[in-house]
Amino acid sequence: MKPTGDYTVHFADPDIFFQWEDILQVLIPRSSAFASAGTAAEGVTTCPICLSPPTAPRMTKCGHVYCFPCILHYLTLGDNTKWNRCPICFDSVSEKQLKCVRWVDLVETHSTSARHESTPDASSGSDTLSSQRTIHMRLMYRPQLTTLALPRSATWPSAAMPPHQTPWHFAPDASAFARFVLATPDMIIRHLEEELVALEVERVSLASYDTGSNLAGVIGAKAVSKPSSESIGVTFVRAAEERVKLQIEKARATDTEWLQDAVKRAERDIAAAERIAARPKESAATLADDPRDPITNSDTPPVTPVSVPTPNGKPKRRNVNPPFRDSTPPTYHFYQASTGQPVFLHPLDIRILLARFHTYDAFPPELTFPVEALDIGSVDHDLRKRCKYLGHLPEGGEVVFAQVNVKEIVGEDAWREGGWEGLVDRRRREREGRTKREERDRVRAEEKERERVRILGAFGPPSAGHSGAAIGVGEDIPDPEFFAPQPPPPLPESDAETTTQASAQPSAWGPRSFASALHSAPSARRQAPAVREEDAWEVDMAWHDLEEQHARNGAVSGGGKKGRKKLVLMGGGPGRRR
């Protein structure tokens, strides 16, 4: 992070996002807590464009890592040269938003004889490991009112590293365990110079391929006239080198006198805290070996409380040694993997250790455990409520709980007296039952998928437009229920009532008998109209012609005072009544 920024708000809420312009470099471990031991051997991701280990890697705002020359080449291919869509998630990407990336090798912060911790497989919810695999953990301290959690050491907690102040990258254990640290210009410049060397090697390699293609093009005229792709690659590598040199100049410009004084002051404070922490141990060892020690070898009786007379005549006892009041805020204690990965000790194992050592302050600073299993989870509201010591992790972060064997550390007698055997066995049975359920669900899902594919194949041959096309992995397969026969939709209430009333009403020839109802044809779901719209229109036209003819006949015969009799026609079909 920029050393001139204010990050106090991030010590109160871990879910607040950082300002993208305040980030100078992104540190990415080569292997995560979910990678298996075999997969974590290489530990380097590949560029999505060239499918090679990234050269001078740069991260976009959406979180994807590319080669610097590759992403520069990709940005020039769009219609807008200022920004383009991410080729993976289609988020907006611009050159100004690219951040420098540095790969971090996971090593134990304290050199011990313990092996590196094992990491679970990302494909399963829990991974049962061999009892011979071990994990090395360190005791973490986190004050209650901050999100900064570091291993207990001479500098933490101390005045050299306040709990609400961002540590520098050179502070002990800060780069491995802190979520964010302050960067110095020297560190940024040193890393950019390493990127310049890597880009130069890449440019020489591409130029050698380019030279070979040109030599081969001398034989064939077509190869000479056609520009090679290697020349384009060299062009963008040179462009990346120019931009890295410009970043080095900007980093040197930020190395002000005030910043240099702040860095030197922090280094002096850390060195002083380490000397003060080492001094009591040396003095205690010296005094224990010195037979002339006046404190340990004197026959002075212990100090007794002094009685002070009061006006009532009763002596008042004054305590010469008042009780010590610790001004430090309450602190959370927990064990985390010594490499800084989000691998924590299981809560049940912490309870067992607390019963053995009685207080958290008495916990050993480092322990090595045989691993039994690893449970994968994520930080949510329920986890924060159950494990309050993990409140410094952002929501949605992935965590791993290590189930270990602490019987050797606790001892046989304390293990038997505490009755921990039953709780550990129940945890083991729950883990085995969860593994069986996951396996059963997986088999059931695979069977359902095979059934869907079988029904789709039995439904019929592919259409002419899709003849010979195979179903891809990402394509949707219709559900078998789609091909099942569907029952006819129910009739609306109005139509059902009309049909019932029509069948119940008597006709012009009397009510329907049982025999007529038996031999009648079944009625349709919905009665069709008796006369079509065209037939009704023809009937209306016929009545209109009849009226006109009747009017002409009346005009010819003459009219009388008496009105003519009206003609009334009765019919079953639609028509006009006069």
Q: Are residues 47 and 190 in the same domain?
A: yes
The per-residue pLDDT for range 372-400, each reduced to its tens digit, is 888 888 999 999 999 999 999 999 988 99
Q: What percent of the chain shows pLDDT beyond 90? A: 35
Of 443, 459, 475, which residue sits at a domain end?
A: 459
Q: Are strands 343-345 and 398-404 parallel, antiparallel or unpaired?
A: parallel
Q: Are residues 72 and 138 in the same domain?
A: no
How far apart, in whole angstroms, are the C-alpha atoms of residue 115 and residue 368?
9
The per-residue pLDDT for range 469-524, each reduced to its tens digit, is 444 444 444 444 444 455 555 555 545 444 444 444 444 444 454 444 444 444 44
Q: Are residues 78 and 102 in the same domain?
A: yes
Most confident of 132-136, 255-259, 463-467: 255-259
Please state the domain count of the chain. Answer: 2
Q: Are residues 218 and 342 in the same domain?
A: no
Overall pTM > 0.85 = no
How far apart, in whole angstroms, are the C-alpha atoms of residue 370 and residue 354?
18
In a domain, 171, yes or no: no
How far apart, in whole angstroms, are the C-alpha atoms of residue 328 and residue 563?
118
CA 107 vs. chain centroid, Å, equals 24
Q: Are residues 4 and 68 in the same domain?
A: yes
Of 255, 271, 300, which residue sits at a domain end?
A: 255
Distances (CA, A) of 356 to 72, 352, 372, 415: 59, 6, 20, 9
Most distant pair of Cα atoms in the chain: their distance: 160
Q: 284 or 203, which is more confident?
A: 203
How far apart, in whole angstroms, are the C-alpha atoms of residue 118 and residue 37?
6
In a domain, 260, yes or no: no
Q: Are residues 339 and 410 in the same domain?
A: yes
Q: Are residues 200 and 73 in the same domain?
A: yes
Of 223, 255, 287, which residue sits at a domain end?
A: 255
The confidence score (pLDDT) of residue 179 equals 92
The confidence score (pLDDT) of residue 541 equals 76
Q: Are residues 97 and 122 in the same domain?
A: no
**CATH number of 17's domain:** 3.30.40.10
In a domain, 77, yes or no: yes
**For residue 134, is pLDDT > 90?**
no
In a domain, 267, yes or no: no
**For residue 342, is pLDDT > 60?**
yes
The DSSP output letter for 373 is E
Q: Are residues 374 and 401 in the same domain?
A: yes
The per-residue pLDDT for range 212-258, each reduced to its tens digit, is 544 444 333 333 333 444 578 899 999 999 999 999 999 999 989 99
Residue 439's domain comprises 108-144+331-459
- The mean predicted confidence, pLDDT, of the chain is 73
Rounded to a whole number of angstroms, the distance between the first and last alpha carbons of the chain is: 97
The confidence score (pLDDT) of residue 142 equals 92
Q: Are residues 98 and 197 in the same domain?
A: yes
Per-residue pLDDT band for 415 (boundaries 50, 70, 90) equals: confident
In a domain, 68, yes or no: yes
Q: Are residues 114 and 194 in the same domain?
A: no
Q: Are residues 85 and 197 in the same domain?
A: yes
The confidence score (pLDDT) of residue 461 equals 52
Distances (CA, A) of 565 to 542, 562, 577: 21, 9, 14
Count the neighbouring beta carbons within 10 Å of the beta carbon of residue 558: 6
In a domain, 341, yes or no: yes
Contacts of 273 (CB under 8 A, 6+ apart): 154, 155, 158, 159, 160, 161
Q: 481 or 280, which is more confident?
A: 280
CB 376 within 8 A of CB 120: yes
* Mean pLDDT computed over 15-42: 74
In a domain, 99, yes or no: yes
In a domain, 158, yes or no: no
Task: Give buried/exposed letters for 212-248 (b at 16+ CB in 10 A, else e).
Answer: ebeeeeeeeeeeeeeebebeebbebbebbbebbeeeb
Q: Which two tokens stand for residue 408?
A: 């050797």
